Amino acid sequence: MKNLAASEIKKVNIDRTGFFGRFIDLVRDSVIPYQWETLNDRVPDAAPSHCIENFRIAAGEAEGEFYGCVFQDSDLAKWIEAVAYSLMSKPDEKLEATADEVIELIGRAQQPDGYLNTYYTVREPGRRWTNLRDNHELYCAGHMMEAAAAYYNATGKRRLLDIMTRMAHHIDSVIGPEEGKLHGYPGHEEIELALVSMYHATGDPVMLKLARYFIDERGREPRFFDIEEEKREGARRDGYRDPGDYAQWHKPVREQDALEGHSVRALYLATGMADVARETGDETLLDACRRLYDNLVHRRMYITGGVGSSHYGERFTFDYDLPNGTVYAETCASIALCFFMRAMLAADPDGRYADTMETALYNTCIAGMSLDGHNFFYVNPLEVWPEASRKSPERRHVLPVRPKWFGCACCPPNLARLIMSIGKYVYTTDGSTVYTNLYVAGEAKIKTESCEATLKTETKYPLDGAVTVTASAGNYALAFRIPAFSREKFGITVNGERLNAGVERGYAVIRREWKDGDRVELKFDVSPRRVYANYKVREDAGKVAVALGPVVYCLEEVDNETPLSGVTLPASSELSCRYLPDKLGGIVEISADGTVMTDDGDDSLYRSTPPKKKPTKLTFVPYYTWANRGEGEMTVYVRES
């Protein structure tokens, strides 16, 4: 059995001057307080949350009706989890007191038998566990378990951990393989991975048993959700059989070859599968994870790490179907992809998982939030035509600017917890090897089999390709991921001496007796480059994207002549870079000579001559910075001539 990386990383302090420093400050200083106001319905022009009020009503401390989505409780859970990560890196007594207080409220909302869910407690007290498919009871429990484990890891306080342990035991009394229990699993996966976190925090074997059960039972015949529906609503007269792929119960998970259906669900499940596989040494389960990953990364992922090609069902569609303008690519789905990749890195160290994680993180995930931390995208398109967003039924879900908050508020708090726990993603360990998956400035204390290592990382990555890591004394290996984009061209020196390191499974591994202050200097190639989609991706044929390191770029109307659909980037055009510290929070801007189609006085819709083109200067900015300067067109792919 392998060790879980999370529990090994004692502490990661992210450097405020590095790339993520600003994001972390934003989340801590702006998003977490703002979310707290939202949860308490104190933001005048945002949709009401009613989340805290639901807990009060469930605790019998307020009158009223449940309001919100069936999964409203999870917003509070995600907030507590983000708070936990925030406290881990920077103590804040007032914030901790607020969290302690709300955890007490949660405790009072818990029912005598351990049950915790405000929707059922307030609105349908007699109908618990009658609709696992649609009503998110296990999902909400999962999020609160993640919060419990994180809060315990951050503060050492057991209160929420105990609450959720009681809930887990309650679930175990209701669901399981035994006669008389429901042979069920969640309609929205999440609890599987959360139970593994609870297992690490508590050591309670019930946690792992339940997680494994949910994974093993899923998709088995007779299918639980068919039985549940029949019990709830009677046998269907129309003979309809739910294909089940929307929520991944179309087949047993070990027989699934591709991520299907609702993308967040699919990736939470995959994460849980990888976690359980690692904990139990289940190779068939890990193989299934590898297959899901292979299909995803070779067939179903946008260049931005976005996943979920269709708004309908917020779902995966089919291989090579990656439309740019009608896309869904939910922020939460890319966050979930980071979870999955981290779980895979812990179970099966291979740099390609970190490559994918990095792509999702630096593009779709952080594009989900405005640079001021106040506005959020759910949908992360690769092409935006604002008029179509207003008028075309196929694109109405693609917003050209980030709105403040959403009634169904899954993405903003999910992003907050990802950013606040970024340190969890930077490192994983295996035996006495420390894997550096991401290059993030900061200092980390990491426990390995042989010793505790302290690593100090200095870098402006991805704005710059230079990374300096200062190690502490000890006998351990440092495995540095060589990003795929730099595989052909990178340099490593140890204390100034050039190292000709080979790359194994994506990492350059340096094993030695380190002395305090040993310096490893890495140099990656972050010159701007052109990226082409596979020719089977129909919308991108004849087009090119521009990237720099892990960061994908885009054209925005504010910097360029429109229509962006009329822009061409000649294959011969040089991509020039300049660092602009004051633009969009500090970016490397890329520019190139191109052409743009233009009005030539011919108003006809169809004509015998091609549209007129004129030279134009193209200005590319990082995708994650788009839509921070008002409404306008945007595109990631550009025609190449």
| Contacting residue, 71, 385, 480, 490, with a second copy by CB under 8 A | 385
Interface segment toward a second copy; rule CB under 8 A; list 196-204, 277-285, 388-396, 419-427: 388-396
Q: Quote the least distance from Cβ 563 to a second copy, whole Å.
A: 6
Check binding of 15 to a second copy (CB under 8 A).
Answer: no
- Residue 506 CA to residue 634 CA, distance in Å, equals 33
Interface segment toward a second copy; rule CB under 8 A; list 281-289, 341-349, 583-591, 592-600: 592-600
Whichever of 280 and 565 has its CB closer to a second copy, that residue is 565
Check binding of 392 to a second copy (CB under 8 A).
Answer: yes
Check binding of 493 to a second copy (CB under 8 A).
Answer: no
Q: Quote the least distance from Cβ 325 to a second copy, whole Å.
A: 9
CA 578 from centroid of its chain's CA atoms:
29
- Residue 353 CA to residue 293 CA, distance in Å, equals 8
Whichever of 519 and 612 has its CB closer to a second copy, that residue is 612
Whichever of 172 and 260 has its CB closer to a second copy, that residue is 260
Residue 582 neighbours by CB distance under 10 Å: 7
Interface segment toward a second copy; rule CB under 8 A; list 6-14, 262-270, 437-445, 537-545: 537-545
Q: Quote the least distance from Cβ 47 to a second copy, whole Å.
A: 17
- Residue 233 CA to residue 243 CA, distance in Å, equals 18
- Residue 60 CA to residue 542 CA, distance in Å, equals 62
- Residue 496 CA to residue 69 CA, distance in Å, equals 57
Whichever of 53 and 561 has its CB closer to a second copy, that residue is 561
Residues 599-628 that bind a second copy (CB under 8 A): 599, 602-612
- Residue 565 CA to residue 557 CA, distance in Å, equals 11
Q: Which of 253, 258, 259 is nearest to 284 (CA)?
A: 253
Whichever of 326 and 591 has its CB closer to a second copy, that residue is 326
Check binding of 568 to a second copy (CB under 8 A).
Answer: yes
Per-residue burial over 316-353, b if 16 or more Cβ lie within 10 Å, else e, is bbeebebbbbbbbbbbbbbbbbbbbbbbbbbbbbbbbb
Whichever of 186 and 323 has its CB closer to a second copy, that residue is 323
Q: Which of 346, 309, 348 is nearest to 329 (CA)?
A: 309
Q: Quote the least distance from Cβ 313 to a second copy, whole Å.
A: 7
Q: Quote the least distance from Cβ 603 to a second copy, whole Å.
A: 6
Q: Quote the least distance from Cβ 187 to a second copy, whole Å.
A: 20
Q: Kindly state the tokens that stand for 465.
A: 């390709």
| Contacting residue, 15, 22, 48, 532, with a second copy by CB under 8 A | 532
**Is-catalytic flag, 314?**
yes
- Total chain residues near a second copy (CB under 8 A): 58
Check binding of 266 to a second copy (CB under 8 A).
Answer: no
| Contacting residue, 474, 491, 563, 570, with a second copy by CB under 8 A | 563
The site map against a second copy for 445-474 (x = CB under 8 A) is ------------------------------
- Residue 555 CA to residue 559 CA, distance in Å, equals 7
- Strands 427-430 and 567-569: what pairing? unpaired
Residues 293-352 that bind a second copy (CB under 8 A): 297-299, 301, 303, 309-313, 317-318, 321, 323, 326
- The sheet carrying 519-524 orders its strands as 9-14, 442-447, 452-459, 466-470, 519-524, 490-494, 497-498
Interface segment toward a second copy; rule CB under 8 A; list 74-82, 98-106, 457-465, 593-601: 593-601
Contact 365, 417 (CB under 8 A): no
- Residue 530 CA to residue 639 CA, distance in Å, equals 12
On the 0-12 / 13-18 / 19+ scale of CB atoms within 10 A, 47 is: middle
- Residue 334 CA to residue 336 CA, distance in Å, equals 5
Whichever of 312 and 579 has its CB closer to a second copy, that residue is 312
Residues 170-199 that bind a second copy (CB under 8 A): none
Q: Quote the least distance from Cβ 541 to a second copy, whole Å.
A: 5
Interface segment toward a second copy; rule CB under 8 A; list 9-17, 436-444, 449-457, 529-537: 529-537
Check binding of 102 to a second copy (CB under 8 A).
Answer: no
Whichever of 146 and 355 has its CB closer to a second copy, that residue is 355
* 376, β-bridge pairs: 369
Check binding of 639 to a second copy (CB under 8 A).
Answer: yes
| SS3 assignment for 245-274 | HHHCCCCCHHHCCCCCCEHHHHHHHHHHHH
Whichever of 310 and 468 has its CB closer to a second copy, that residue is 310
Q: Which of 180, 254, 184, 178 is nearest to 223 (CA)?
A: 184
Q: Quote the least distance from Cβ 543 to a second copy, whole Å.
A: 9
- Strands 9-14 and 442-447: what pairing? antiparallel
Whichever of 82 and 597 has its CB closer to a second copy, that residue is 597
State the catalytic residue, choosing from 192, 314, 556, 633: 314
| Cis preceding linkage at 528, omega within 30 | no
CA 92 from centroid of its chain's CA atoms:
26
**Is-catalytic flag, 289?**
no
State the catalytic residue, choosing from 140, 410, 411, 554: 410
CA atoms within 13 A on the CB side of 598: 10
Q: Quote the least distance from Cβ 598 to a second copy, whole Å.
A: 7
Q: Where on the chain is the footprint of a second copy (CB under 8 A)?
A: 297-299, 301, 303, 309-313, 317-318, 321, 323, 326, 385, 387-388, 391-394, 529-539, 541-542, 544, 563, 565-566, 568, 571, 597-599, 602-612, 639-641
Question: Hey, which residues are catalytic here?
Answer: 314, 410
